[in-house]
Each structure stands twice: as structure tokens, then as C-alpha cells.
Amino acid sequence: MSSSSAEPEVREDVPLSTLTTLRVGGPARRVVRADSTGALIDAALATWADGDDWLVLGGGSNLLAGDDGFDGTVLLPAARGIEEQRDGDRVVLRVEAGEPWDDLVAVAVERGLTGIEALSGIPGSTGAAPIQNIGAYGQELSSSSSRSSSSTTSPASCRGGPRTSWGSATARRSSSRDCAASW
């Protein structure tokens, strides 16, 4: 897992159309791409200290951006990695937010793990998955996820209804201070 704190990559006036799958959206004033958890935390803390408006973006597959763009900082969690821990006969996967969700499902299936296999083919990042509480074919992520950090959420605290979670409710509030660095 990438906990080291490499410098995040900062770009200015980046068209959101290049960061969303619908390929629409005007410029974001600042975009910060963090390739490690440490870099993401540093970038988030600096943004919050500045009081800048901010938005966390994963694969951009569930976001419709307007032509006016975004006058603030877009944080891109890009760290990848999947770590397996065993707890008796239970397996816990600790996954970086930038890991593509479908790659994670493929790894879980290859390893014979059950719980997220019906969520195969859903586009986007692992970091967004608990925020969106993704679901398909009767399976919902809130039934399998235990924690996401730097925010710490649990299925119980996530109020996990279809496509809603504690995370998505708070993420829309500009005063929120949560983003998932790993899940």
C-alpha cells in the first residue's frame, strides 16, 4: 500500500471534460492528483486549510459537470494497491481509493472470495464505491464493506439504502471533511 507522501501533481485550468466519462464540463481551477495516501492527506489538509471549495473525483463516471467548470480544487486519489489480511476464516481486503473497482472484483473472484462478485462491471474507482454504495443484482457494497478511511464509515453508520450512503450525503456538503483514501 502506498502510504509514503510523494509530492502531489498540481495542474491549473484543467477541463473537467477530460476527467469525466461523459466528456463534458468546463475548467477546474486546480486539480491535484495524489499517487499515495500520504500525498492525498497532505493535499486535502492544505486545501481545507486554504478554505478553498473542493471536490473529490474518482473515475468521473457518476458526475455531470457544467460548462462553467469548478472554481475550486479537485482532488484525485490515484493510489493503487490491494492488501489482503486474514482474520480467522475471514478475509479483509484493504484497497487504495484509486484502484479501479472492476479490477478489485476480478482479484476477489480470482482469489475465491465472495461478497462483491455481483458488482462486476460497474465503472469507477474503489474510493467512490462506498460513497455511492454501489449495487447490482441484489448485492450492495454496504453489506460487504467494513471501513473507509481517512473518513471512517461502517455499514451501520452508512445508513446504507440503495445508492445512498452516509458518505454520499456528507460528500455533497461543502463543509464536509471526508474523502476516502482507502477502503
Which residues here bind ligand FAD, judged by CB under 6 A?
A: 21, 55-63, 77, 97, 122-125, 127-129, 131-132, 134-136, 163, 171, 179-180
For ligand FAD, the closer CB: 100 or 107: 100
Give the torsion through C-alpha atoms of 154, 116, 127, 34, to 10 deg.
Answer: 130
Backbone torsion region of residue 129, taken as left when φ is above 0, otherwise alpha when ψ lies between -120 and 50, otherwise beta:
alpha
**Least distance between ligand FAD and beta carbon 12 (Å):** 20
Active site residue 159: no
Q: What are the strands, taking DSSP E only, across 62-144?
A: 70-77, 82-87, 90-95, 135-136, 139-140
Which amino acid makes up residue 126? T
For ligand FAD, the closer CB: 27 or 135: 135
Question: In whole angstroms, how far apart are CA 16 and each of 43, 46, 72?
Answer: 19, 22, 12
For ligand FAD, the closer CB: 27 or 132: 132
**Residues 134 and 101 sit within 8 Å (Cβ to Cβ):** yes
**Least distance between ligand FAD and beta carbon 141 (Å):** 8
**Least distance between ligand FAD and beta carbon 151 (Å):** 7
For ligand FAD, the closer CB: 100 or 113: 100
| Residue at grid coordinates 450525503 | 169
Question: In whole angstroms, how far apart are CA 79 and each of 63, 118, 176?
Answer: 20, 24, 22
**Least distance between ligand FAD and beta carbon 112 (Å):** 23
Active site residues: 177
